[in-house]
Amino acid sequence: MALLEIQDLHASVDGHEILKGVNLTVNAGEVHSIMGPNGSGKSTLAAVLARRETYEVTGGRVLLDGKDLLEMKPEDAAREGVFLAFQYPVEIPGIGNAYFLRSALNAIRKHRGEDELDAMDFLPVYKEHMKLLEMDDKLMNRSVNEGFSGGEKKRNEILQMAVLQPKLAILDETDSGLDIDALRIVAQGVNAMRSPDRSFLVITHYQRLLDYIATDFVHVLVDGKIVRSGGPELALELEDKGYGSAEADAQAALSA
């Protein structure tokens, strides 16, 4: 069954239409990559799926596990299993990393009817994941993302994802600003989480992330629409020819 079904999705920001009819179906266990030039609507798509309220949905439907995602508030979407790894993770002074993540996990567990975890139960899990992501223990009690390097922020996103165990993980340009070592660690974190009941939407500008994360499908988003879809080979082709060709091909296909 499709985990995520996007049908003719239109969305705008401040009255400007950014998404102009996106269609996409993601089955459980699949990894889909969305590629496209800057300004094509990739991050808008991610934000709409995470239910950011500053993005206005003007048309279409999105079903998550058969439920209407567009009816959900951000916290409801998160509790139903949507996770967005931010392109620019937000700094939140005064709120400890571990405290924040435990609150989030407990909100989700409560929603699922599971017992909440106290600090004693939570910390070993948290520390274990930190180790896997080669993160410094000291970051645990620091404020959320405050004073973190770019790489630390991105790893922190993956850490949160690993602890929260979402059904649908959306990675919004997680590779941007990462050096090759950090990229490898982040990709390992993602790969370790692949499972038959978890899907990924990997949004990226560059093909290089896909050297590390094996993708099942690649979609090209141009000007608010998916203009081409294919297998992993499409990413390599884009790397060679650039987005211009994908767009031109699509135009040609339309006018043919």
CB of 18 to another protein, least distance (A): 17
Name which position in 78, 135, 187, 203 contacts another protein (CB under 8 A).
78
Name which position in 39, 93, 147, 244 contacts another protein (CB under 8 A).
93
Please name the helix (run of DSSP H) or strand (run of DSSP E) that holds residue 31, with its range, or none.
strand 31-35
Cβ(142)–Cβ(96) below 8 Å: yes
Name which position in 8, 39, 71, 92 contacts another protein (CB under 8 A).
92
Q: Is 74 in the site for another protein (CB under 8 A)?
A: yes
**Entry field: residues in the chain:** 256
Cα 239-242-244 angle, rounded to 5 deg:
160
CB-based burial, 105-130: b 16+ in 10 Å, e otherwise: bbebeeeeeeeeeeeeebeeebeebb
Select the span of 98-106, 147-155, 188-196, 223-231 touching another protein (CB under 8 A).
98-106
Name which position in 36, 48, 69, 89 contacts another protein (CB under 8 A).
89
Alpha-carbon span 55 to 43, nearest angstrom = 11
Q: Is 167 in the site for another protein (CB under 8 A)?
A: no
Cβ(35)–Cβ(221) below 8 Å: yes
Name which position in 48, 108, 135, 234 contacts another protein (CB under 8 A).
108
CB of 243 to another protein, least distance (A): 28
Q: Is 107 in the site for another protein (CB under 8 A)?
A: yes
Residues 111-130 that bind another protein (CB under 8 A): 111
Partners of 83 in beta bridges: 169
